[in-house]
Amino acid sequence: MVQGLPILVVEDDAALREAICDTLELAGQTVVSAGGGEEALQLLVRNAVSLVVSDVRMLPIDGIALLKEIRNRFPYLPVVLMTAFADVDRAVEAMRAGACDFLLKPFEPKALLEHVLRYRLPEAPDDDRVIAIDPVTSNLFALARRVAQTDATVLLSGESGVGKEVVARYIHQHSARSKGPFVAINCAAIPDSLLEATLFGYEKGAFSGAQHAQAGKFEQAQHGTLLLDEITEMPLALQAKLLRVLQEREVERVGGSKPVSLDLRVVATSNRDIADSVARGLFREDLFYRLNVFPLMIPALRQRSQDIAPLARHFLATHGGRSGRPRLRLSAAAETALQCRAWPGNVRELENIIQRAVILAAGDIVDVDALHLALERRVDPTAGQAPEIATPEGATPCRARSTDDMRDVEREHILQTLEAVGGSRKLAGQRLGMPERTLRYKLRQYRLEGFLKD
């Protein structure tokens, strides 16, 4: 029985490549193959795969170089390398570079199949609430589905608006706890003075105004999943208490003395580099390691460009249906304009633009004017090696923006938004979909770098 996404076999020896493919296909696996590293990378851009099995000795791109490029472009994709006994030193180098394992040639079909079953990603997302067209996204959700089968604590990181809560809910829905509650708390949205009581609960009379006992978010999430959103916004004093709860798997309400045993999974998110926050003393190192059991970096929307148009169509159908306009469609030019955008606000920004287009579109076809892309910026085609995005016939082609430019785009977007709301950080944060604390931190950095005057 064929299972899930195909396996990519990369081998420059045609006879050996065919033999490996035949072995996998006879075992019920779907296989695609490439005769070298360059062809393999082209296939990976177009197709989602569950595993790469590659030879080490190839020209002009050898297996080690291919591995490093895959780690750079598709960080979640498992890679197994095949090598001769004489190349064991290179196999060690490969393991350090991120390979899952290596097969020593010659190997038995049984050994190959054991490696495939051990390391391949599970089936691609089958959840209609998830848009995962781009191979990068497909691999991310496949890995999320794998960790969902365990009770491991998951740390989701990525820029603001990339969909961290979507991934957290996906993990919950595909876990053994799916029938239990999914409880989310935004650590940046609750005042420091109330956050402890909100998380841990409180007993009657614990503080002024506590007229009755209240279970906290930990207790509310019993037998389910607790999402600690924007965990780096939590005060250091409360981080120490959270660490104890995670270690002991029990919680005491504020003003109480009886511990409550916990049976739940914890998922935490952050739009900051937590390791950097640890280095600057803003986040406890011991708590970081307690949360960082299974880290998942969610790529920015610009890094998964094949998702942009499908996401836009999904949002158009959703908001168009709610507004009584189910026949709305994006024009080819509008889709091209969306593809050419840098998306500093990621998926959240895309949804806001589509929601606005539903209001502004005069007819059933949503054209560029209805998108009202006031901040639209085309990408410099001379910058970097970003792949060109396919465009409809007659439309203007564009290239995906280089990652090196994203900080400049984000800074300009934030400063323009701040100016538009008269300098109000609160209003700017609401428009940007960014916690006010995060905005204050970014503005402080811009002052230090000389981009913003006091």
- Please give the CATH architecture assigned to the domain spanning 302-401: Orthogonal Bundle (1.10)
Which ranges of the chain have pLDDT less than 50? Answer: 1-2, 375-396, 399-404
In 3-state terms, what secondary structure has residue 394?
A: coil
In 3-state terms, what secondary structure has residue 445?
A: helix
CB 6 within 8 A of CB 49: yes
Q: Mean pLDDT score of the chain, rounded to an integer?
A: 83
Q: Residue type at 164?
A: K
pLDDT digits (tens, 9 = 90+) for 398-432: 544 444 455 666 777 788 888 877 788 877 777 77
Which CATH superfamily includes the segment(s) 7-119?
Response regulator (3.40.50.2300)
* CATH class label, 135-299: alpha beta
Q: Helix (H) and strand (E) counts for the chain?
A: 19, 18
Domains of the chain, residue spans: 7-119, 135-299, 302-401, 405-448
pLDDT digits (tens, 9 = 90+) for 199-247: 998 888 777 777 788 888 999 999 999 999 999 999 999 999 999 999 9
CA dist 414 and 374 (Å) reads 14
> 405-448: which CATH number, 1.10.10.10, 3.40.1000.10, 1.10.10.60, 2.40.160.40?
1.10.10.60
Q: C-alpha angle with apex 343: 340 to 348, nearest 5 degrees? A: 130
In 3-state terms, what secondary structure has residue 96?
A: helix
DSSP state of 124: P
